[in-house]
Amino acid sequence: MRSQSLRHHLLLLLFAAAAALSSLHRVSAGGGDEGSAPAPSYDGDAEFIRSSCNSTLYPDVCYTSLSRYANAVQQKPGQLARVAIAVSLAKVHRAASHLSNLTRDADYAGSSRASLALRDCFSNLGDAADEIRGSLKQMREIGGSSSSSSSSSFLFQMSNVQTWMSAALTDEETCTDGFQDVAECPVKTDVCDRVSSVKKFTSNALALVNSYANKGMP
């Protein structure tokens, strides 16, 4: 039953990754994912992203990961938030895929406690992916709304996005917290380092979502 549950989570994460890459494809002029997105050609667009990233906890990570989408963002805070969410989703999927591989490795953990923490972490990342995917879907609906959308409707939708992104960040933190009582071992270091990196992208996306929501208009 446990292995079936893990396979189910991995399948959900694969769909989440497809959604993330699809989103990045739409906002990038001909780009298919993070690595193939076009470099910004307008200093103003890149500067907008740099300035926006200053409101995040990890501005360097933010700018490095998002500046390549400057042409597609075009100084639109909503578009920037959507791209940041999509990048965050892709990062969660990659980390979860790595954890899935570890669970199939007979030597992946040094103790039963490490094994349990790893499996719980994988489940947490699956939940985080679901929540980030829900946020991305809501952001697309906001982006497709007509200009006549009411301010109250916008704030309600953004509240949903903020709640889901916050929940995703909590799930990622729960993942690393689960290793606190695990003795130092290669799998603990590997997983905690990877998920700590993922948390930076989710935190940055949430900060950009909050900034967009504070503007009070789609």
- The identity of residue 71, as a single letter, is N
Could you tell me what percentage of the chain is helix, strand and coil, using 3-state DSSP and rounding each to the nearest 5? 80, 0, 20
Q: Quote the CA–CA distance of 153 and 144 in Å, as a whole number.
A: 13
Give pLDDT, residue 39.
47
Q: Which residues have CB under 8 Å from 148's CB, separation 6+? A: none
Digit-coded pLDDT (tens) for 85-95: 999 999 999 99
Give pLDDT, residue 147.
46
Q: Quote the CA–CA distance of 81 and 131 in Å, as a whole number.
A: 15
Give pLDDT, residue 38.
47
Give pLDDT, residue 78.
94
Whole-model pTM: value is 0.79
Give pLDDT, residue 40.
43
Residue 217 corresponds to which tokens in the numbers above? 């208009």
Give pLDDT, residue 32.
37
Low-confidence ranges of the chain (pLDDT < 50): 1-4, 6-8, 10-12, 14-19, 21, 27-41, 146-148
Domains, the chain, with CATH or none: 2-215 (1.20.140.40)
Give pLDDT, residue 43.
80
Digit-coded pLDDT (tens) for 102-127: 887 755 555 688 889 999 999 999 99
Give pLDDT, residue 144.
63
To the nearest 10°, the Cα dihedral for 169, 128, 88, 133? -130
Give pLDDT, residue 217.
67
How many CB atoms neighbour CB 186 within 10 A?
13
How many CB atoms neighbour CB 44 within 10 A?
10
